[in-house]
């Protein structure tokens, strides 16, 4: 059995009990005023609770892109864990200026890694969704001449990946933003597809060609929580306004009538396999 826990935003903990992979760990959840006006600081207590809940060996921390709701907490989490950190050159810069040089494996698109006996990672290219006013927020790169702490807008996008984790015979893909590059996924399939909800209407391929290509048996909509509000385990979170989750579910059920759609609750492990 594989256990997957959604930790808010695009965060997942994927574990077979012995081995664990973390994707986009983000637990600080700064409030709206902080996001708009202040410099952001990782919440050490929230991170302590996160890392002490991890099971077995953590083999990897995987980062799909470097917006703050994906990357803010990565340096502090990585400093407490032994696993390798996988992501973009923008992530490598963030790690360097956080005092963690040499910890990041900068991934080429389509690059494949064996993480442990039964676990592998492939970093497929992807495209960020058009979220605010039809635009991709905070484009560009984090560079090594920047100084922490950053404001939200300084957590620039960097390269965007759609990671695939194979674990215990199950393949899991992570669409941490509502965009995709279907041509880069030709011939790929997965068993479980995690799909970011906000922004889905602005990328028609995302809820049609992507699903027809990957043919997931299980679809898990996530990143639907308002990540400027706190999370409680097992309790429905505040949703991001105007993301039209109902319309999203109707659309994916129409395109993939045989797929199971599982709505995750935060910090509640789901079992697969």
User: Which residue, 40 or 119, is less far from Zn ion as judged by CB?
Assistant: 40
Q: Judge whether 92 and 135 are in contact, CB under 8 Å.
A: no
Under the criterion CB under 5 A, does residue 174 sit at the interface with Zn ion? no
Q: Smallest Cα–Cα separation from 239: which of 180, 271, 175, 196?
A: 196
- Residue 238 DSSP symbol: P
Please list, in sequence order, all residues whose beta carbon lies within 8 angstroms of the beta carbon of residue 113, skipping any fewer than 6 positions away. Answer: 60, 86, 105, 107, 120, 121, 122
Q: Output the DSSP codes for 144-177.
A: TT--SSPBGGGS---S-EEEEEEETTEEEEEE-S
What is the torsional sign of CA 88, 19, 171, 240?
negative
* Interacting residue with Zn ion among 19, 67, 103, 223 (CB under 5 A): 67
Closest approach of Zn ion to the CB of residue 8, in Å:
14
Tokens coding 206: 């995302």
Cα separations in angstroms, 35 against 82, 143, 155, 266: 30, 20, 11, 21
Which region among 29-37, 67-75, 185-193, 259-267 touches Zn ion (by CB under 5 A)? Answer: 67-75
Closest approach of Zn ion to the CB of residue 26, in Å:
11
Residue with nearest beta carbon to Zn ion: 67
User: Which residue, 51 or 177, is less far from Zn ion as judged by CB?
Assistant: 177
User: Which residue, 129 or 266, is less far from Zn ion as judged by CB?
Assistant: 129
Tell me the backbone φ, ψ of residue 114, rounded to 5 degrees.
-90, 120
Closest approach of Zn ion to the CB of residue 231, in Å:
18
Closest approach of Zn ion to the CB of residue 67, in Å:
4
User: Which residue, 67 or 103, is less far from Zn ion as judged by CB?
Assistant: 67
* # residues contacting Zn ion (CB under 5 A): 2
**What size, in residues, is the chain?**
273
Closest approach of Zn ion to the CB of residue 103, in Å:
22
Binding mask 175-214 for Zn ion (x = CB under 5 A): --x-------------------------------------
Q: Judge whether 14 and 273 are in contact, CB under 8 Å.
A: no
Closest approach of Zn ion to the CB of residue 21, in Å:
20
User: Which residue, 42 or 51, is less far from Zn ion as judged by CB?
Assistant: 42
Which region among 12-20, 53-61, 63-71, 233-241 touches Zn ion (by CB under 5 A)? Answer: 63-71
- Residue 207 DSSP symbol: G
Which region among 66-74, 86-94, 100-108, 189-197 touches Zn ion (by CB under 5 A)? Answer: 66-74
**Rounded Cα–Cα distance for residues 247 and 249 (Å):** 6
User: Which residue, 93 or 177, is less far from Zn ion as judged by CB?
Assistant: 177
Chain residues that interact with Zn ion, rule: CB under 5 A = 67, 177
């Amino acid at each position: 059995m594989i256990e997957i826990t959604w930790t808010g935003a695009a965060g997942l903990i994927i574990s077979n009990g012995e081995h664990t992979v973390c994707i986009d760990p983000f637990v600080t959840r700064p409030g709206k005023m902080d996001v708009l006006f202040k410099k952001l600081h990782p919440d050490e207590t929230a991170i302590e609770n996160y890392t002490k809940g991890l099971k077995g060996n953590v083999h990897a921390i995987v980062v799909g892109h470097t917006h703050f709701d994906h990357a803010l907490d990565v340096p502090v989490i990585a400093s407490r864990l032994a696993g390798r950190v996988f992501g973009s050159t923008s992530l490598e810069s963030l790690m360097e200026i956080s005092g963690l040089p040499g910890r990041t494996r900068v991934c080429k698109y389509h690059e494949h890694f064996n993480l442990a006996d039964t676990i592998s990672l492939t970093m497929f290219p992807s495209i960020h969704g058009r979220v605010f006013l039809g635009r991709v927020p905070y484009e560009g790169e984090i560079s090594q001449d920047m100084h922490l702490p950053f404001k939200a807008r300084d957590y620039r996008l960097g390269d965007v990946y759609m990671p695939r984790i194979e674990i215990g015979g199950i393949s899991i893909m992570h669409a941490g933003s509502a965009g995709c590059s279907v041509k880069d996924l030709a011939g790929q399939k997965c068993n479980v597809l995690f799909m970011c909800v906000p922004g889905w209407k602005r990328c028609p391929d995302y809820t049609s060609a992507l699903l027809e290509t990957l043919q997931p048996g299980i679809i898990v909509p996530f990143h639907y929580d308002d990540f400027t509000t706190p999370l409680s385990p097992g309790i429905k979170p505040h949703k991001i306004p105007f993301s039209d989750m109902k319309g999203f579910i109707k659309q994916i059920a129409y395109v993939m009538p045989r797929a199971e759609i599982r709505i995750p609750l935060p910090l509640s492990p789901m079992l697969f396999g």
